[in-house]
């Protein structure tokens, strides 16, 4: 059988090693000197390969989606030293209005998102006149486009000091290209793994997230950069696995949606409460921001009614508690130590859940 697989691999360019998602593995417990979760610190301090700035906080990011990357979410997440990636439809006017109405705005915990068009660039420059931008996130769905590296260089020239993030990609060569030639500090990793994502279905393209993280983290760390694991977090355990695989930051969309603080009306159906969560390339988002969806593209995002979850702070504390607990099981005193304390075991069943809840 092996020789047949090798033959197929040779003829069809098949990579025959098995790529893994979070639910394919568990983290093996190890002897630990930690006796309480309270002994674990979740803060991490970073120096970057290009930016001269440093950053300290909990390396979690709310996704730059309409439903999670908002100024209102920032007001809550900043209390936990978590970053909110504002979605790219924030204009200088919206940000100014927020500041004028005494809204909290701590630029240490905000990233400004930009696409790669001239209009996007102009918007970024205008925002930089209103606030002291620390993080810039250059975000396109397909980070393999040649244009992305050129745009990164343009942003780096205009913003030599700032911490620049770019993505999304899922393989070593593009991580190196973005850090070395694009002069970015952090690469955003993940294609097709998001909860509101239809890319794998519509295009057949993607890469299991844990393997993407392991490969890309190794590449980034080799050249002094960092990565964000973006997409596919379904529970606190997944976040620990992402750190275990080498992710420096973890970005969360769906799991941070559906709260009081997320935008959108509360929907009530048959006595149950929901909030709308949708992909940024869904027809819903396209219609909202562009009036319609161009004929040449198909919707690569889902619209989901997520059960109402109450206060975002409770969800965040549940996640932070989960990561602390992982640390006590593997003797990691802080998030930075998780990868060196992690050994994954490959499993055929992640959870024993006879009650389906
Ligand atoms: P989640 O945490 O919900 O699993 O994943 C969030 C990530 O999904 C986002 O940060 C972004 O990378 C990705 N995403 C958001 N909207 C869309 C979309 O419409 N299509 C696709 N393919 N990915 C999306």
DSSP conformation letters of 287-356: HHHHSS--TT----B-EEEEEP---HHHHHHHHHHHHHHHHHHHT-SBGGGHHHH--EEE-S-S---TT-
Q: Give the pLDDT confidence of 19-66 residue by residue, as tens digits.
A: 999 999 999 999 999 988 999 999 999 999 999 999 999 999 999 999
311 pLDDT above the threshold of 80: yes
Q: With a 6 A CB cut-off, is 196 part of the ligand 1 pocket?
A: yes
Mutate to test the pocket of ligand 1, among 280, 303, 315 (most ligand atoms within 8 A of CB): 280
Mutate to test the pocket of ligand 1, among 202, 275, 279, 288 (most ligand atoms within 8 A of CB): 279
Instruction: Measure 281 CA to ligand 1 centroid, in angstroms.
Output: 9
Instruction: Report which ligand 1 atom has the smallest distance to the Cα of 191.
Output: 22
Give the active site residue among 137, 197, 216, 341: 197
Structure tokens at 69: 């990357």
179 pLDDT above the threshold of 90: yes
Instruction: Report which ligand 1 atom has the smallest distance to the Cα of 252.
Output: 2
pLDDT band for position 153 (cuts 50, 70, 90)? very high
Q: What is the mean pLDDT of residues 167-176?
A: 98
Structure tokens at 198: 């239809």
224 pLDDT above the threshold of 80: yes
Q: With a 6 A CB cut-off, is 301 part of the ligand 1 pocket?
A: yes
pLDDT band for position 8 (cuts 50, 70, 90)? low
Instruction: Measure 93 CA to ligand 1 centroid, in angstroms.
Output: 26
Q: Give the pLDDT confidence of 186-220 residue by residue, as tens digits.
A: 999 999 999 999 999 999 999 999 999 999 999 99
- Does pTM top 0.75 for this prediction? yes
- Asked if 254 and 277 touch (Cβ cutoff 8 Å), the reply is yes
274 pLDDT above the threshold of 90: yes
6 pLDDT above the threshold of 80: no
Prior bond of 318 cis (ω within 30°)? no
Instruction: Measure 279 CA to ligand 1 centroid, in angstroms.
Output: 6
Q: With a 6 A CB cut-off, is 282 part of the ligand 1 pocket?
A: yes
What letter does residue 22 receive in the DSSP assignment?
A: G
Q: With a 6 A CB cut-off, is 190 part of the ligand 1 pocket?
A: yes
- pLDDT value at position 267? 96
Instruction: Measure 158 CA to ligand 1 centroid, in angstroms.
Output: 28
* Helical pair 146-158 and 118-130, crossing angle rounded to 10 deg: 30
Mutate to test the pocket of ligand 1, among 196, 252, 286 (most ligand atoms within 8 A of CB): 196
pLDDT band for position 78 (cuts 50, 70, 90)? very high
Q: With a 6 A CB cut-off, is 167 part of the ligand 1 pocket?
A: no
Q: What is the mean pLDDT of residues 138-149?
A: 96
- pLDDT value at position 9? 65
| Mean confidence (pLDDT) of the chain | 95
Instruction: Measure 324 CA to ligand 1 centroid, in angstroms.
Output: 26
Structure tokens at 232: 């596919």
Q: With a 6 A CB cut-off, is 40 part of the ligand 1 pocket?
A: no
Instruction: Report which ligand 1 atom has the smallest distance to the Cα of 63.
Output: 10
Q: With a 6 A CB cut-off, is 230 part of the ligand 1 pocket?
A: yes
pLDDT band for position 2 (cuts 50, 70, 90)? confident
User: Sign of the CA dihedral 238, 244, 246, 248?
Assistant: positive
Q: What is the mean pLDDT of residues 261-283?
A: 96
Q: Percentage helix, strand, coil, to 5, in the chain? A: 40, 20, 40
Catalytic annotation present for 341? no
164 pLDDT above the threshold of 80: yes
């Amino acid at each position: 059988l092996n020789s047949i697989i090798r033959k197929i691999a040779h003829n069809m360019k098949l990579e025959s090693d098995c790529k893994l998602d979070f639910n394919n593995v568990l983290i093996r417990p190890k002897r630990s000197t930690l006796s309480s979760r309270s002994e674990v610190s979740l803060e991490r301090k970073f120096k970057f390969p290009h930016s001269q700035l440093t950053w300290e906080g909990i390396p979690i990011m709310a996704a730059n989606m309409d439903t999670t990357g908002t100024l209102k979410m920032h007001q809550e997440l900043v209390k936990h030293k978590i970053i909110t990636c504002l979605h790219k439809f924030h204009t200088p006017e919206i940000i100014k209005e927020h500041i004028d109405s005494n809204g909290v705005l701590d630029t240490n915990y905000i990233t400004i998102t930009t696409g790669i068009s001239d209009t996007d660039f102009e918007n970024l420059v205008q925002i930089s006149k209103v606030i002291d931008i620390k993080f810039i996130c250059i975000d396109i769905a397909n980070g393999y486009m040649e244009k992305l590296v050129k745009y990164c260089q343009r942003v780096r020239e205009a913003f030599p000091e700032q911490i620049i993030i770019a993505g999304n990609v899922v393989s070593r060569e593009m991580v190196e290209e973005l850090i070395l030639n694009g002069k970015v500090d952090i690469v955003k990793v993940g294609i097709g793994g998001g909860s509101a994502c239809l890319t794998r279905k519509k295009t057949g393209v993607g890469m299991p997230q844990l393997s993407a993280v392991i490969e890309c983290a190794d590449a980034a760390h080799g050249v002094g950069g960092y990565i964000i694991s973006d997409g596919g977090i379904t529970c606190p355990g997944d976040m620990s696995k992402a750190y275990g695989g080498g992710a420096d930051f973890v970005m969360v969309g769906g799991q941070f949606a559906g709260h009081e603080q997320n935008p959108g009306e509360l929907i009530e159906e048959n006595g149950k409460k929901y909030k709308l969560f949708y992909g940024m390339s869904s027809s819903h988002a396209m219609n909202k921001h562009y009036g319609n969806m161009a004929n040449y593209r198909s919707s690569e995002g889902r619209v989901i009614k997520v059960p109402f979850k109450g206060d975002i702070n409770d969800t965040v504390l549940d996640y932070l508690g989960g990561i602390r607990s992982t640390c006590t099981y593997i003797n990691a005193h802080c998030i930075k130590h998780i990868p060196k304390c992690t050994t994954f075991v490959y499993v055929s069943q992640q959870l024993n859940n006879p009650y389906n809840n």
